[in-house]
Structure 1
Amino acid sequence: MEKSTRGIDHIGVTVPDIEQATLFFQKAFAAEVIYDNLAAADEPKSGQQVEQSLGLKPGTTEMRIRMLAVGNSANIELFQFGNVSQRQPVIASDYGLQHVAFYVDDIQKAVEQFTQSGGKLLSKSNKLSSAAESGFGNQFVYGRAPWGMLVEMISYPAGINYPADSQAKRWTPAQ
């Protein structure tokens, strides 16, 4: 079978304030602004086409859209909507996208940057313990961004112990 998919281009995240979210991602993960698809100076978008293309509630307005780059990985597209009531972010047991994971070289430094940027940890960092992911220094920790989105920081400097029947290698950002 011929592959038509190259990989993940971006992850879309709805935020209450695009400037606050941008600042958080810049401070916590050294994100860089690529461009705005819908800038503050642009007219907000609304109507049936906008609602239909994103599956939005009737009356929802697209206020801002911004694309961020984070290291050598998929991009993050931030959305800010208006004129609609919004729910709290999902928790891991809910259906759908539950978290975004950032590969970090130094988990303690990443935790420090994350919390200094307004993120809140759910626990201390933990060892990766599955047979495939265990190894010296392999760790993870979850936290919540200032608006409640679940974020993971992960590091596996000892590598991955792929089982014999593995069909692919896990993508990891270049050093």
Structure 2
Amino acid sequence: MSTPALPDDVQHLFTAIDHVGIAVPDLDVALAFYRDTYGMQVLHEEVNEEQGVREAMVGVGGTDTNPSGSCLQLLAPLTPESTIARFLDRSGPGLQQLAFRVDDVEHVAAVLRERGLRLLYDAPRRGTAGSRVNFVHPKDAGGVLVELVEPAASPH
């Protein structure tokens, strides 16, 4: 069975699945579980005040700094009012978002808006490790919160 051709104005906007976000009530407990049970390596951990989370990226596959491996992002709330706290209250721990890597988050957001999707922010915000992010509203993406991630430029 052949794949139908895309209309001329549709282009592939994503370069990869960047990570899958998982909401957890306690980051330390979650990190211990993913490390001790699954053998995953903690690649990065930070507090993101703007997003209201304490977060960690854990590697799935790959080696050392995770070349060619995938990531899970564990997200714990900083305050009871944070978006992740509200998600946990409503849905409990579990899958919270699917993040796609993009080359230019502003361009991709503009294209998606032109295609009728709502994005949560007017302009990109700071994400993990200095990345720039925006989100497609889940009501416009089949019930999935889609994150657009433009990684921070690598230092030379």
The structure having more radius of gyration, on CA atoms, is 1
Structure with greater strand share of residues: 2
* TM above 0.5: no
TM-score norm. by structure 1 comes to: 0.35
Structure with greater helix share of residues: 2
TM-score norm. by structure 2 comes to: 0.39
